[in-house]
Amino acid sequence: KAGVTQTPRYLIKTRGQQVTLSCSPISGHRSVSWYQQTPGQGLQFLFEYFSETQRNKGNFPGRFSGRQFSNSRSEMNVSTLELGDSALYLCASSLGEQIQGPPLHFGNGTRLTVT
Amino acid sequence: AQKVTQAQTEISVVEKEDVTLDCVYETRDTTYYLFWYKQPPSGELVFLIRRNSFDEQNEISGRYSWNFQKSTSSFNFTITASQVVDSAVYFCALSDNYGQNFVFGPGTRLSVLP
């Protein structure tokens, strides 16, 4: 079974630009969540999508947005990039069923550098 | 609010030593899940264990063992006879009953020296 795939692996952008990151979950997984990892703040939850609907959202400004498609693939968009947005962005997928807490399966991440 | 604390920022041990990584959590939920993840240099977070709040049995998996104590809100992770390949950042995490609202601890960087 293929794992969670994130593209691109590395990205360099300039302040003020916008960026879109992509995540393909494990086949059959309907929940996709996004995390930002920085040395200062650690791993922080951005948002989670289930069946094309945003189900949970972390404490991030509106510049951070996402969406999920009918095939469960998800994209995350950051507009008006700031230097502080430089981070490793991790995507995780799970079955998403509210039965028991399924473990998250993470991708390798996209390392975004804002200059 | 949920919170996970990993007081040890970095630990260095020599190969074959045992090492324990501490995790203390805070939650108002009565039902919750605790996790440990390993992040090797490649960056991908690797799931190690999930524990339901009602299951306080300790668990052993090969060289890994976990000690869950609800009374002290701790979920500690021990690696026995550590190996160089165990070098990574280890994260403890907490989720609600539905496996949502994940909160990660700051991580502990473990270096196992040959």
**pLDDT tens, A64-108?**
999 999 999 999 999 999 999 999 999 999 886 644 456 788 999
Chain B residue with CA closest to A104: the answer is: B47
Q: Which residues of A touch B106 (CB under 8 A)?
A: 42
- Alpha-carbon distance A100 to B5, whole Å? 24
Q: Which residues of A touch B43 (CB under 8 A)?
A: 88, 90, 108-109, 111
Task: With a cut of 90, say whether residue B43 has pLDDT above it.
Answer: no
Chain B residue with CA closest to A40: the answer is: B106
Q: Which of A104, A111, A112 to mutate to test the interface with B (most CBs of B within 10 A)?
A: A104
- pLDDT number for residue B52: 87
Task: With a cut of 80, say whether residue B24 has pLDDT above it.
Answer: yes
Nearest to B43 among A55, A103, A109 (CB): A109
- Alpha-carbon distance B5 to A38, whole Å? 17
- Alpha-carbon distance A82 to B32, whole Å? 35
Q: Half-sphere exposure (CA, 13 Å, Cβ side) for A37?
A: 23
Chain B residue with CA closest to A4: the answer is: B44
Q: Residues B10, B11, B15, B20: what is their CA dihedral angle, to the nearest 10 degrees?
A: -120
- pLDDT number for residue A57: 85
Percent of chain A with pLDDT over 70: 93
- pLDDT number for residue B100: 65
Cβ burial of A21 (10 Å; 0-12, 13-18, 19+) is: buried
Percent of chain A with pLDDT over 90: 71
The tokens describing A75, both together, are 């994209």
- pLDDT number for residue A40: 86
Q: Which residues of A touch B109 (CB under 8 A)?
A: none
